[in-house]
Amino acid sequence: MREGLARIGRVRAVINITAIACLSSVLLSSLIWSQAFGREIDWQLISTAFVVPALICPFVMWFVIQMTLDLHHMENKMRHLASYDDLTELLSRRAFLTSSQKLFSLMNRSHKSFSIAYIDIDDFKKINDSYGHAVGDEVLKSFAVILEDHTRSSDVVGRIGGEEFAIALPDTGAHGAARVVELIRKVSEQQMLTASSKATLSYTISIGISTSDSNNTQTLEQLIQQADRALYEAKVAGKNRIIQFETETHFT
């Protein structure tokens, strides 16, 4: 019901409900008058039955509908906050895992490959320490835009926490996933952000990939652990690179 009220708006809802109330009042009054008293319709009674709800209903329903719409908007906002990261507008960790599990199960049933990429912004703490958290937030938002611009509509993208992000790539093998994230790595490396009136900054990312092919029996949790391990190895190996868990192929 609240979805319907939100679609038609408060004014139209009040008009419609008032019209229904007036019509119902007239019909009910006429029925009671004729059935209970066996008399012909009294037009003064009918006029009263119409005027009273026409005067009262709009004022009452105006506030009732507004309270209902406020509750509807609040619930939608809470639902959005539960599913999306407030800063980057990407999926939150929980929402990412939920969506990825659905995709992963679908790929398993269809015997198709599925890849997970874990991404970390290199030396992000130094960025915060050197330029402040406001600039750090701009880096996160900038990278989120890159992710959205260079992934497919079928991919799932989320902010896992802090400066760590993840991409779920359905129907994508190891080499296909590497091509996608290599483009993201290059674009990120070329990004220049204003840190102050006299300085700009750039940043790099490290990426770990894990892949489940059509014959694999791994779980999503195992794939995520492998991608996280590959990301760690990319950090240890010098950052600004991609490591694929299965073959540990480097793309720099």
Residue at token pair 């006429």? 30
* Among 163, 164, 233, 248, the one annotated catalytic: 163
Sign of the torsion formed by the C-alpha atoms of 174, 179, 180 and 183: positive
CA distances, 57 to each of 16, 50, 52 (Å): 11, 11, 8
Beta strands (DSSP E) in 42-192 are 114-121, 156-161, 164-170
**How far is residue 177's CA from residue 230's CA, in Å, rounded to a whole number?**
14
Q: Quick one: pLDDT at residue 155?
A: 96
Q: Assess contact for 211 and 244: CB atoms under 8 A.
A: yes
In this predicted structure, the answer to whether residue 236 has a pLDDT above a threshold of 90 is: yes
pLDDT tens-digit series, residues 67-87: 776 665 666 566 655 678 989
Active-site annotation holds for 163: yes
**How far is residue 237's CA from residue 122's CA, in Å, rounded to a whole number?**
12
Query: What would the mean pLDDT of 111-135 be, rounded to a whole number?
Result: 94
- Tell me the average pLDDT of the chain: 84
Torsion angle, alpha carbons of 182, 187, 190, 196, to 10: -130
Q: Quick one: pLDDT at residue 248?
A: 44
pTM, whole model, 2 decimals?
0.70
Q: Quick one: pLDDT at residue 213?
A: 76
CA distances, 109 to each of 97, 102, 117, 219, 228 (Å): 18, 11, 21, 13, 25
Burial class (CB in 10 A: 0-12, 13-18, 19+), 93: middle
Q: Quick one: pLDDT at residue 197?
A: 67
Q: At what angle do helices 124-131 and 133-149 cross, to 10 degrees?
A: 140
